[in-house]
Amino acid sequence: MTFAADLQVAPAVAMSQNNDSGSSNDPLQTATGVYVTIHGHFYQPPRENPYLDQIERQPSAAPFHDWNERIHHECYRTNAFARVLNEQGEIIDLVNNYEYLSFNIGPTLMSWLERYDLEVYQRILEADRKSCDRLNGHGNAIAQVYNHIILPLANERDKYTQIRWGKADFRSRFNRDPEGMWLAEAAVDYPTLEALVAEDIKFIILAPSQAERCREIPREENPDPQWLEVGGSQIDPTRPYRCFLPNGKYIDIFFYDGPISRDMGFSNVLSNCDHFVSRLGLAVRGDHRQSQVISVATDGETFGHHKHHTQMCLAYAFTQEFPRRNWTVTNFAHYLSLNQPTWEVVLKPVTAWSCAHGVDRWQDDCGCGGGGGWHQKWRRPLRDALDWLRDELIKIYEDTGSRFFRDPWEARDEYIDIIRAREASRNVNGSPANLETETFLSRHQHHQLTESEQIDALRLLEMQRHALLMYTSCGWFFEEISRPEGVQILRYAAHALALAGDVTGVELEKGLRDRLAQAPSNVASWPTGEEVYLQLVVPSQVSFQQVAAHYAISSLFTNYSPQERVYCYEAHQLDYQLQRMGSLTLAVGQLQLISEITRESSELVFVVLHLGGWDFHCCIQPFMGRIAYSKIKEQLFDTLKQASAAQIIIAIAKLFGDQTFNLQNLFAEERHRIMQLLTQENLTRLDQLYSQVYRDNYGVLMAFQRDELPVPQELQVAAEIALSNRCLTTIKALEQEASDSQLPLSHLAELEATATEAHHLQCNLNIPQGKPALEKLIWRSLWQLLYKTNPETLEEDIHYIERLIDVGNQLQLTLSLDRCQELYFHRLHSSIKPQCQLTIRAHEIIVSNDGTDNDESPSLTDWNTNSLRQLLQLGEKLAVDVSACLSLLP
């Protein structure tokens, strides 16, 4: 994408042209002219393992840990720091697109952002505050139904809870009430509208295909306007509409421009800013109306993930093209405050934006979302199975919950406060939200609850939370029940029924499985939903014993402190003893585990025997008292003295029974870490072997290269492995020494020499770990340079960073310097550019005083003219436009 080279940084006030608040021509105060609203629906489904409250590694998202991380890298962060480039590809502006987009970000995604990238999370909140300031108190952000369930298919209570949770989550983040709400898949019917109005939602956004007819609102001079049939998407999307409900109330509705929105998602209209703006311009009505709004809506992930780099198109349009055309960027709430609806609309009975058959995509084999000849006959049985489970859980919740809560359903509606407190406390200090939980229970309890009753009360609330999560729309959206989305909602269902069993002893799993058996899959490996449940859901369930086994095996490789957090459990190490005998390692311990969510706890005894290599033998049992525990330890360590693996395993079986755990029972992240540790010794030996082969045959390799002959594969592989290993070792050494006052120049020189050697031998190095390590090292060095400048070493520090970038390029690591650019760009405009202005001012004063300095000269920092020039040249290296600053220097 190419942008005009002579454009300077776009000021934030570009959106408020003619902004004299006393002027009737100010489009921010009076409805006049053309307004543009681009809405992004940003959403990711909940992906956390419901038993661990953490997303596990998703190999399909490689090289990232999971799909949230991957999409964040491509979309959420890039929209918070969207580039505007000149013709040389240099950054002339970093735009926070969220300041100009109308947007909703699903609560499950916002929770993840808050935990994973607090900087981007804060940029989003800041963007809403700035849009409030710019648009008369109307922020860009709107709320979303909590976990993206299809509201027309929900029962009445679930409708209200989803809306209330969505509002409460929004309020806890943006510190204001939402004016609008995004409906999952824009799915709507009149009972849903009534629920929204009852919860003070002022407007929603729908597709033009969801309107049935419209007309001007009757008024005295025109008491009976003619209805216009618009069921074929003919409704005019440039104005807001009022939808009157059977109960006499109303809600306002914006219909986005369907053709343009569709082009944004499914064509290349965003590949070029001129193309995009011209496409929007075609929607402007030339009927001389006082004002009109061009509104489009699409998945927010379009901007950077589905359509790479299109966030740059938005940034340029917002800050350059729209102001040039005198178009005012606004949001729906602001436009509505200036332009109350003069037309009313009647909606079709039940519709959604992504299904041509009402909402059948989430309950029937309607054909939407299908492909490859696969059917979706599983959708109806899946919906029926979860509806049955929901209704069974309602009975349990009402019957048992009434013993604990004055009003169980009010308690559920306000449980979002505990969910948010738990998320916030975990993000701040990693501690559970105990005080908030106690306050919540005090407010809702039927009587003073005992400790066990409190645990059951929280179990019931978690049961209801998972009964809502199991309706996340993605589970039905695609073509197959065994996809990750279908498996995920069944995981929520499994956890909900397990919690019900923990509280009441009721067994619901068989009833669910029987109904899932009626859901035919398209995959032979699991022909029905029941097989999907048994093979893909049940193995993911986690008990206290599994958490203890995870802790026990990991303790052989990790020095645990007396209190640790293991996923969503507090682990209190009450006793621990480890002893080695030859190739055998034996550990025995006493452990208390406490769930951070329900506060239930379990005190357990574990024994783990490592027989060497990949062989582990672990057993768990309840703690039966100090005397029994002491006898277990004494017998096991006495047996270990015999140095017989067989005897120890027999002793463990007598004391703990037959249930055992091994490396395969560890949670995936830790299992992979231990697997790497266990293979490291072998890999080290192999690396040494390959290095020896490479050294012994270096002359032979050079001879083949000199005579341009094909290098024998065995020698080429040895060279590539040896040099890759040397690079990684050197990068690790650079990381370790980066915090020293003396720059590790010798290691950098060694890395440069290795890169040159690899280039001469035409080696393709395999060092994916080196890329993030070098990127982090460059960022850290740049931060140190910009914020803790040492004038005496400035030139050397800059040269060091430039060498790091060069060696990364030489190693063909395709370094991502985005965060370095963002860091430098901020410092450029907050410090370097003002200092350049001071420098030129000081120079002018000295010249005017015939070369004599005096008290009028502005005070300078440690950055003198030469230092500033060097810093600006570093900016050129980082592809940041510094030409304006360089031109200031004498």
Cis previous bond, 527, omega within 30: no
Q: What pLDDT score does 852 carry?
A: 57
Q: What pLDDT score does 4 carry?
A: 34
Q: How many CB atoms lie within 10 A of CB 887?
A: 9
Q: What pLDDT score does 681 carry?
A: 83
Mean pLDDT of 629-640: 94
Q: What pLDDT score does 815 carry?
A: 94
Mean pLDDT of 579-589: 93
**Cβ-contact 353, 360 below 8 angstroms:** no
Q: What pLDDT score does 286 carry?
A: 85
Residue with tokens 């029962």: 155
Name the DSSP class of 222: B
- The pLDDT tens digits for 48-82 are 999 998 999 999 999 999 999 999 999 999 999 99
pLDDT of 196 > 70? The answer is: yes
What lies within 8 Å, CB to CB, of 810 at 6+ separation is 752, 755, 756, 759
**Cβ-contact 331, 439 below 8 angstroms:** no
Q: Categorize the per-residue pLDDT at 836 as very low, low, confident or very high, splitting at 50, 70 and 90.
A: confident
User: Which has the closest alpha carbon to 386: 541, 478, 512?
Assistant: 512
Least confident interval from 48-52, 665-669, 724-728: 665-669
Residues of the chain above pLDDT 90, percent:
80
Of residues 738 and 523, which shows the higher confidence score?
Answer: 523
- The pLDDT tens digits for 765-793 are 999 999 999 999 999 999 999 998 888 88
Ranges of H-type helices in 431-528: 434-444, 451-469, 474-477, 484-504, 509-516
Mean pLDDT of 654-660: 92
Least confident interval from 225-239, 316-330, 432-446, 606-620: 432-446
**Cβ-contact 421, 431 below 8 angstroms:** no
Going by DSSP bridges, is the β-strand pair 291-299/211-216 parallel, antiparallel, or unpaired? unpaired
Helix axes 484-504, 451-469, angle to 10 degrees: 150
Residue 346, classed as helix, strand or coil, is strand
Q: What pLDDT score does 846 carry?
A: 63
The first and second tokens of residue 882, run together, are 């510094």
Q: What pLDDT score does 14 carry?
A: 39
Q: What pLDDT score does 20 carry?
A: 44
- 606 bridge partner residues: 589, 620
Least confident interval from 166-175, 399-408, 457-466, 660-669: 660-669
- 379 bridge partner residues: none
**Cβ-contact 657, 688 below 8 angstroms:** no
What lies within 8 Å, CB to CB, of 423 at 6+ separation is 111, 114, 115
Q: What pLDDT score does 19 carry?
A: 43
The first and second tokens of residue 364, run together, are 């029937």
Query: What is the C-alpha to C-alpha distance for residues 501 and 503, in angstroms, rounded to an integer?
Result: 5
Of residues 264 and 743, which shows the higher confidence score?
Answer: 264
Query: What is the C-alpha to C-alpha distance for residues 831 and 870, in angstroms, rounded to an integer?
Result: 14
Q: What pLDDT score does 738 carry?
A: 74
Q: Which sign does the torsion angle of CA 676, 679, 681, 687 carry?
A: negative
CA 723 from chain centre, in angstroms, equals: 36
Mean pLDDT, rounded, of the chain: 91
- 572 bridge partner residues: 563, 592
Going by DSSP bridges, is the β-strand pair 102-105/563-566 parallel, antiparallel, or unpaired? unpaired
Q: Categorize the per-residue pLDDT at 737 as very low, low, confident or very high, splitting at 50, 70 and 90.
A: confident
Q: Categorize the per-residue pLDDT at 613 as very low, low, confident or very high, splitting at 50, 70 and 90.
A: confident
CA 224 from chain centre, in angstroms, equals: 51
Q: Which sign does the torsion angle of CA 693, 698, 699, 703 carry?
A: positive
Q: How many CB atoms lie within 10 A of CB 840?
A: 16
Q: Categorize the per-residue pLDDT at 8 as very low, low, confident or very high, splitting at 50, 70 and 90.
A: very low
Model's pTM, two decimal places? 0.92
Q: Categorize the per-residue pLDDT at 18 as very low, low, confident or very high, splitting at 50, 70 and 90.
A: very low
Q: Categorize the per-residue pLDDT at 13 as very low, low, confident or very high, splitting at 50, 70 and 90.
A: very low
Query: What is the C-alpha to C-alpha distance for residues 541 and 536, in angstroms, rounded to an integer?
Result: 10
Residues of the chain above pLDDT 70, percent:
93
Mean pLDDT of 487-514: 97
**Cβ-contact 382, 470 below 8 angstroms:** no
- The pLDDT tens digits for 411-442 are 999 999 999 998 887 765 555 668 889 999 99
Mean pLDDT of 564-576: 94
Least confident interval from 108-122, 198-212, 237-251, 358-372: 358-372
Q: What pLDDT score does 851 carry?
A: 56
Angle at 214 between CA 330 and CA 142, to 5 degrees: 30
Query: What is the C-alpha to C-alpha distance for residues 589 and 572, in angstroms, rounded to an integer?
Result: 11
- 605 bridge partner residues: 590, 621
Q: What pLDDT score does 385 carry?
A: 98
Q: What pLDDT score does 228 carry?
A: 97
Residue with tokens 């005009």: 4
Residue 571, classed as helix, strand or coil, is strand
